[in-house]
Structure 1
Amino acid sequence: MSSSDEVSRDLQSIRLARWGRVVPVDGVIPYVVVDPEGRPIEPIRRFLRDFVARGHSAGSVRSYAFDLHRWWRFLHVIDVPWDKATSAEVRDFVLWMGQAKKQRRAPRTKSAATAGQVNPITRKQYPGDGYGARTIRHSNAVLRCFYEFVIDAGEGPLANPVRRDRGRRGRANVHHNPLEPFRPEGRLRYNPKVPRQRPRAMPDERWVDLFAAMRSNRDRAILALAVSTAARASELLGIRAADVDWGDQLVQVRRKGTGAQQWLPASAESFIWLRLYLDELKDLGLNDPVWWTLRRRTKPGEDLTRRPLNYDALRAVLRRANDMLGTNWTMHDLRHTSALRMVRSQKLSLRDVQVILGHAHLTTTQLYLVEDDDEVLRRVHRYLADRQEAAAAPKPVAVGYDADDLAVLLGGVAP
């Protein structure tokens, strides 16, 4: 399609209809995208099946399914078949996401007043109503991967509509070494720029306030483990009873993405809270999850049922604490806090921190070498206070001289 044949669309007036949905299913594929009649969309189903076969987790399948569902809804509104989409549709999709508001099943309540604003205590920004740059970049990556799959299978358009911007490099792999594998070159053409965010540690006094806001030994134990092991929330929630080594004070987690098992050292305090919590559970098998929660009664007169603690329930724990403290902390803030504490202690090498964090590349761990703005401000304040105290304090008189005589001779007041 030439530039003169492109359709001019009023992107600000586009509203995605409630077309289809993402549903969990039993089987090899944990999630599928269905049309309004409830039938799976076959190209997406085949792609997700291949995606699962490549070893990706159920959470990644769910994320990819929602991105593809959003793309299908957009194509449905602009009346373009999925196999006829071009880079012009991808460009308009990116422009639409850059100015559109997220559609919600229920309107915001408490969070409406803080959407997009910066919390005065944590200095972190609340989630806004629009699509962020990282969401748009993730969507482009998903579409690029999807169309690569269908094109290799002999379906879809002739060229991938999510193109790479080669820039000044010219042809990709023009100087390729035949002894090395080919690698993609160039960024995706319509990827928005993302400002680099610095990891920030939670101040000690804020950590004490957050820990004091926990209402059970379970919540205290999981927060103490998070801030001492630097494990992700999903990794902590996957711990079983057999993954706790009480003698060496270690916990075994399964790394996000790779699924590799790794033992992590934890603090003595976290094991104390973990022991207090497990004493309340009593019967717990070696293969049972460590973290449990009580669900509400579904019918009058029924007893509370115990179920494994999931990520949504853990977020609810932090949400209650944040409402009490007026903050917006997340579990990932505890991972940043633990990593920065280890780096600043100067007792561990950067390689040690890399192993604990589970980073595949040392360059990822080097992000924690950047000084936190709050820490720099505190040091500068101490420097200014020290200078003010030094200027206010009189200099001592040298040995052998009388302070009163010097005051008469040189003027001024004797110290």
Structure 2
Amino acid sequence: MFDDLERDITTIRLSKWGSVSESHGPSVWLVYDDAEKPVSAIREFLIDFVAQGNSSSSVRSYAYALLRWWRWLRAIGVEWNKATPAEGRDLVLWLLAAEKERNHRRTKSASTAGTINPVTRKRYLDDNYAARTIRHSNAVIRAFYQYWIDDRQQGPLVNPIPLDRGRGRPYAHHNPLDPHRPEGRLRYNPKLPKQLPREIPDERWRELFGALGSDRDRALLSLVVSNGARSEEVLMLRMVDLDWGDQLIRVVRKGTRAEQWLPASPESFVWLRIYVAGLGQQPAPNERLWQTRRRRDRGDGLRQQPLTYDALRKVLTRANDKLGTNWTMHDLRHTAAMRMIRDENLSARDVQTVLGHAHLSTTANIYLIEDEANVIQRVRQHYAERERDVPLAPVADLAEGYDAADMGVLFGDTWT
């Protein structure tokens, strides 16, 4: 009965109501209303989310998704505890049609948004909501309502993001290597397009490395491209997490939060030594390794600050501007993975362990694919062999308007 409601989503505009800000309480991030007071229902959910061991970045991500949901409910005039699957469905429809909210209009990137970079052959981000963003939004909203329905046993009567229970037998196509998920497919989840690994060719990697502006950047990127560690994992490195003798780094894995020692290339440790030597005063053992190049005063005097993910993105932005490319930090992870996959001395299990995948199927589904460049090369060789072994059939009659000499140039001796 909820799906009978129809809205003209093309007329809906979300306001700038509320904000997400850091908090000094149990939840490191909270959603605030226009009176700068925490939204109590979200606050209680995020505190429980933190208690489950989720990271600060995950809490921030959930907070922004719930802020968008609150703005949506305000735009359509529905209380949060009165929302139904009709509101969840219409939000998905709106996200599929609307442009992303931006604090500032595009300037430099306006001409490239949504286009293909001729060097990297990668698409630039456009102003539409990606399928992964919509799926993440659905997962957050469903988790929020499940908390209030199941755990608190109060509040709303239904979850606005329902499960799709009408599509045959549950787990009919389940991969036996994967664990069974506790829930089925969400009804309004858009399908994800299949993406190939975004590997940086060796010559392009050398160009990118040469465009970096500091020893810090060279050390950081060479670490990532050697073992495929995630940006979040590398940024949190401390001096105590470096094993100089065995050339290992210790990272805290995303998701599991487990500590793991990873090997790194000798070249990356050379750049690490150069970077640390250039700091003048070596950081304390438990101090963050990567520091800003400029000093800032954050209330404790003028000093260098830990490098953030946004600052790391700016490093690549400057290099991309020089080269006319659009490489990302995740491309370095893909590059490391593909290099390891091609090494006959490394098994898929080895690569899974280094990349930190929970399941071997994740590694296999993403990286154990036929190399596109090799496929193209083999098909070109096939064309050349066909042309050599099977000449083109001669054409007896020349159609009116064609010159015989020109046709001879095109088809050579096969033309009669």
Change (3 A) 1:383 1:243: farther
- Measure how far apart 1:215 and its partner are: 1.1
Quick one: distance in 1 between partners of 2:235 and 2:302?
21
- Measure how far apart 1:310 and its partner are: 0.9
Q: Of the candidates 185, 188, 198, which is equivalent to residue 187 of structure 1?
A: 185
Residue 234 (structure 2) aligns with:
236
Q: Of the candidates 215, 218, 221, which is equivalent to residue 216 of structure 2?
A: 218
- Measure how far apart 1:380 and its partner are: 3.4
Change (3 A) 1:296 1:248: closer
After superposition, give the CA deviation of every residue in 1:319-344 in whole Å (9 maximum; x if it has no partner): 00001111110011011001111111
Alignment of 1:357-396 (within 5 A): 357-366=355-364, 367-381=366-380
Quick one: distance in 2 between partners of 1:34 and 1:255?
30
Quick one: distance in 1 between partners of 2:377 and 2:307?
38
Change (3 A) 1:182 1:199: closer
Change (3 A) 1:2 1:106: closer
- Measure how far apart 1:389 and its partner are: 8.7
Residue 104 (structure 2) aligns with:
106
* Letter in structure 2 aligned against 1:350: A
Aligned partners of 1:83 and 1:155 also within 8 Å: no
Quick one: distance in 2 between partners of 1:33 and 1:105?
17
After superposition, give the CA deviation of every residue in 1:374-401 in whole Å (9 maximum; x if it has no partner): 3322343456567879999xxxxxxxxx
Q: Secondary structure at the match of 2:109?
A: helix
* Letter in structure 1 aligned against 2:254: K
* Letter in structure 2 aligned against 1:372: D
Change (3 A) 1:240 1:185: closer
Change (3 A) 1:310 1:168: closer
Aligned partners of 1:68 and 1:142 also within 8 Å: yes
Residue 39 (structure 1) aligns with:
37
Quick one: distance in 2 between partners of 1:121 and 1:89?
42
Q: Secondary structure at the match of 1:167?
A: coil
Alignment of 1:8-407 (within 5 A): 8-152=6-150, 153-169=152-168, 184-283=182-281, 284-295=283-294, 305-366=303-364, 367-381=366-380
Q: Is the deviation greater in 157-166 or in 50-59? A: 157-166
Aligned partners of 2:247 and 2:265 also within 8 Å: yes
Aligned partners of 1:226 and 1:335 also within 8 Å: yes
Structure 1 runs of 4+ off > 6 angstroms?
A: 296-299, 386-392
Q: Secondary structure at the match of 2:78?
A: coil
* Letter in structure 1 aligned against 2:36: G
Change (3 A) 1:379 1:334: farther
* Letter in structure 1 aligned against 2:265: S
Q: Secondary structure at the match of 2:20?
A: strand
Aligned partners of 2:296 and 2:304 also within 8 Å: no
- Measure how far apart 1:183 and its partner are: 5.3
Quick one: distance in 2 between partners of 1:185 and 1:31?
27
Residue 175 (structure 2) aligns with:
none
Which structure 2 segments of 5+ residues have no match? 172-178, 392-416
Aligned partners of 2:297 and 2:303 also within 8 Å: no
Quick one: distance in 1 between partners of 2:157 and 2:296?
55
After superposition, give the CA deviation of every residue in 1:80-120 in whole Å (9 maximum; x if it has no partner): 00000000111111100100011212111111111111111
Residue 408 (structure 1) aligns with:
none
Quick one: distance in 1 between partners of 2:101 and 2:359?
37
Quick one: distance in 2 between partners of 1:118 and 1:320?
19
After superposition, give the CA deviation of every residue in 1:269-305 in whole Å (9 maximum; x if it has no partner): 1111110010011322111111111336679xxx963
Change (3 A) 1:354 1:85: same
Q: Secondary structure at the match of 1:128?
A: coil
If you compute each CA radius of gyration, which structure gives the higher value, 1 or 2? 1
Q: Secondary structure at the match of 1:187?
A: coil
* Letter in structure 2 aligned against 1:154: Q
Quick one: distance in 2 between partners of 1:3 and 1:360?
38
In the alignment of these two chains, the number of paired residues is 379
Which structure 1 segments of 5+ residues have no match? 174-180, 393-415
* Letter in structure 1 aligned against 2:74: H
- Measure how far apart 1:200 and its partner are: 2.8
Q: Secondary structure at the match of 2:222?
A: helix
Identical counterparts, % of pairs? 57
Quick one: distance in 2 between partners of 1:348 and 1:297?
44
After superposition, give the CA deviation of every residue in 1:326-370 in whole Å (9 maximum; x if it has no partner): 111001101100111111111101111111011110000102111
Change (3 A) 1:210 1:151: same
After superposition, give the CA deviation of every residue in 1:100-142 in whole Å (9 maximum; x if it has no partner): 0112121111111111111111111111101111111110000
